[in-house]
Amino acid sequence: MKKVLSLLVAMIVLTSVAMAEVETRGFEIGLFSPVQVGSREANVDGFRLSTIWTVNQDVKGFDWTWIASKTEGSFDGFKLGGIYNQVDKGGKIYQLGGFVNNYKGEVKVGQVFSAINIAEKAEGFRVFSFVNYAQEMDGVDIGTINYAGKMEGFQFGLFNYAKELNGYQIGLINYAGNSSIFPVLPIFNMAR
C-alpha cells in the first residue's frame, strides 16, 4: 500500500511540475479554442492564425485574426484584422484593421483603420478610427469620436472628450474638463 501511495504522490508531483512549464510554439493555428494546434496555456513566438476564436498566453510576432482572438498575457508584435481582439496584460501592438480592439494594462500602440479601440492605458497613435477610448492616452487620437479620461497629446475628430487634457483638440465639439479657455468649444480647445 505504501508503494502505491508513494507512486501516486510521485505521479502527482511530476504532473504538476510538467504542467508548470509553459509551452512556447513557433506558430499557432486555431479554429476555435480548444480546437487549435497548441493549448490555450501555450505562448506563441512567431505566427498565429485565428480563424474563429483562438486563445493563448503571451504572443510575440504576427497575429492574423479572421473573427476573434484573445491573448491572456501580453502581446508584442503586429496584428492584422479581426472582428474582436483582446489583450489582457498590455504590450507593444502595431495593428492594421480590426473592428473591436480591447487592450487592458499598459500598451504602446500604433493602430490604423480600426473601428473601436478600447485601452486602459495607451501610448502612441490610433488613427482613422471610428471610436478611440482610453482611460489614459499619451499620444495622438484621430477618429470620429475620441474619449479619454486623461489625455496627453492631440485629439482630432468630430467629437473629442478629455476629462483632463494636457494638449490640444480639433473637432466639431471639443470638451476638456480642465480647459484653459472654456470646457466646451467648437473647432479648437486646449489645456495645460
Q: Are strands 68-71 and 75-80 parallel, antiparallel or unpaired?
A: unpaired
pTM: 0.86
How many angstroms separate the CA atoms of 12 and 69, rounded? 33
pLDDT single digits (tens) 92-131:
999 999 999 999 999 999 999 999 999 999 999 999 999 9
Q: Are strands 59-65 and 100-112 parallel, antiparallel or unpaired?
A: unpaired
